[in-house]
Amino acid sequence: MTQDRGGRTLLRERVAHQHNKVSFVELFFDLVFVFAITQISHTLLEHFSPLGLAQAVLLLGAVWWVWVYTSWVTNWLDPETTPVRLMLFALMFAGLILSTSLPEAFEGRGLIFACAYVATQLGRSIFAMLSLRAHSPANFRNFQRITLWLALSGLFWITGGLAEGEARFGLWALALAIEYAGPALGFRIPGLGRSTTSDWNVEGAHLAERCALFIIIALGESILVTGATAAKLAATPANMLAFANAFLSSIAMWWIYFHIGAERGSERIAHSDDPGAIARIAYTYIHLLLVAGIILVAVGDEFVLAYPGGHTEAKVAIAVIGGPGFYLLGNLLFKKVTAGWYPLSHMVGLGLLALLALFPGVLPPLAFSLTATAILVLVAAWEALSLRPKEA
């Protein structure tokens, strides 16, 4: 299918020196992933262990891959056309099934998770391939390759859903590794060759806006989680301070990404001669670190809200340090790709977090978390004072 019933092509219309704004149906689609991220956060809270962390990383990698692949597709296909809208609604339903299965993905709902995931990935890819066939030969061949890669990984997803325990984790890790290797290897297929980033003629500003909105979703999820927890607690000074600390960390994370980085990244990719290359590394891969950091910060805030005093346990220290660490590292790499240098403020922030990691037994959970938040605030303030929006 390449046209709707009105004879209109399903591809987005592109106008020079302009970019398509994110549509309402794309935002509607994103709501499914508020639920997915909440599910991962809650699951990690209940199973915060080395195995639980590894499983959460795998599940987050899968959820992110569904979302970011869909964002690439709607960069080319127009969600204002009825067939594309219906495709997104079908993906939303499959995404809801996937999200509901997340807490028990490594238990009794593994096959449901795997089937929902494979159906989403393959269904969307086949739809895009057929839609692009008559209008974009290079991307039609690209989606032929992508579909074959997803079919290969799908075998391991389904087999893993049928397996149990360590076998399931190993098969799913292999499936996810295949999918993450695909863009880096150009989806090379014998007889079909490989894709180049020049084939991926994305509208950079639109993809940048999509990813920025996902960061907003993740930050919003963290506020929802901590707000719901704080509402159930007694209004003691320690609890109120822990809640204020959680909110301040969200503001600092918003500032670090949106003050300069998001807009500059959008400008850089929009004016690049090879936007596909920037989209692949800066948005497809690196943004996953940002989302992982936000989730870990939310988990750390939950731990601190539950037990602000006493001894700082290892799991609390890992979440409180790891969340800001992943977030700063992701921003550091993102800004290196889009600005051309490593921000000194981010490197200093990572160094201070490394120092803080040496003292989990000295500070109680609330003081430990307050110090980590202070480091984020320091980095945000450094960015605000050294780089103003008009100078970006």
DSSP-derived secondary structure letter, 391: G
Q: 3-state DSSP call for residue 189?
A: strand
Return d(Cα 52, Cα 47) in angstroms, integer.
Answer: 5
The mean pLDDT of 205-231, rounded to a whole number, is 89
- Look up residue 178 and give its two tokens: 């295949």
- Look up residue 141 and give its two tokens: 């061949």
For residues 259 and 253, the answer to whether their CB atoms sit within 8 Å is no
For residues 319 and 299, the answer to whether their CB atoms sit within 8 Å is yes
Q: What is the pLDDT of residues 24-46, one digit of tens each?
A: 999 999 999 889 999 999 999 99
Give CA angle at 389 (385, 392), nearest 5°: 100
For residues 44 and 108, the answer to whether their CB atoms sit within 8 Å is no
- Which one-letter amino acid corresponds to residue 143? F
Return d(Cα 92, Cα 75) in angstroms, integer.
Answer: 17
pLDDT above 60 (res 17): no
Return d(Cα 43, Cα 103) in angstroms, integer.
Answer: 6
Query: For residue 273, what are the contacts with CB-CB under 8 A and spacing of at least 6?
Result: none
Per-residue pLDDT band at 3 (split at 50, 70, 90) = low
Per-residue pLDDT band at 252 (split at 50, 70, 90) = very high
Q: Which helix (H) or strand (E) holds 29?
A: helix 24-46
pLDDT (0 to 100) of residue 137:
82
Summary mean pLDDT of the chain: 90
Residue with the two structure tokens 């970011």: 68
In sequence order, what E strands does 49-99 have?
none
Longest dimension (CA), the chain: 69
The mean pLDDT of 90-118, rounded to a whole number, is 96
For residues 323 and 293, the answer to whether their CB atoms sit within 8 Å is yes
For residues 365 and 308, the answer to whether their CB atoms sit within 8 Å is yes
Give CA angle at 56 (374, 172), nearest 5°: 150
- Which one-letter amino acid corresponds to residue 373? T
Return d(Cα 145, Cα 201) in angstroms, integer.
Answer: 16
Q: pTM of the predicted model, to two decimals?
A: 0.92
- Indicate if the alpha-carbon torsion angle 331, 332, 337, 340 is positive or negative: positive
Nearest to 21 by CA among 197, 212, 198, 200: 212
Nearest to 324 by CA among 348, 284, 304, 296: 296
- Look up residue 53 and give its two tokens: 């962390």
> How big is the chain, counted in residues?
392
For residues 104 and 75, the answer to whether their CB atoms sit within 8 Å is no
Q: What is the pLDDT of residues 338-356, one digit of tens each?
A: 988 899 999 999 999 999 9
Nearest to 76 by CA among 117, 116, 118, 26: 26
Give CA angle at 331 (368, 280), nearest 5°: 140
First to last CA, the chain: 42
Per-residue pLDDT band at 392 (split at 50, 70, 90) = very low
Per-residue pLDDT band at 8 (split at 50, 70, 90) = low
Query: For residue 217, what are the contacts with CB-CB under 8 A and spacing of at least 6?
Result: 30, 33, 34, 37
Q: What is the pLDDT of residues 112-167, one digit of tens each?
A: 999 999 999 999 999 999 998 877 788 889 999 999 999 999 999 999 999 999 99
The mean pLDDT of 3-19, rounded to a whole number, is 63
For residue 306, the tally of other CB atoms under 10 A from its CB is 14
pLDDT above 50 (res 23): yes
- Indicate if the alpha-carbon torsion angle 266, 271, 272, 275 is positive or negative: positive
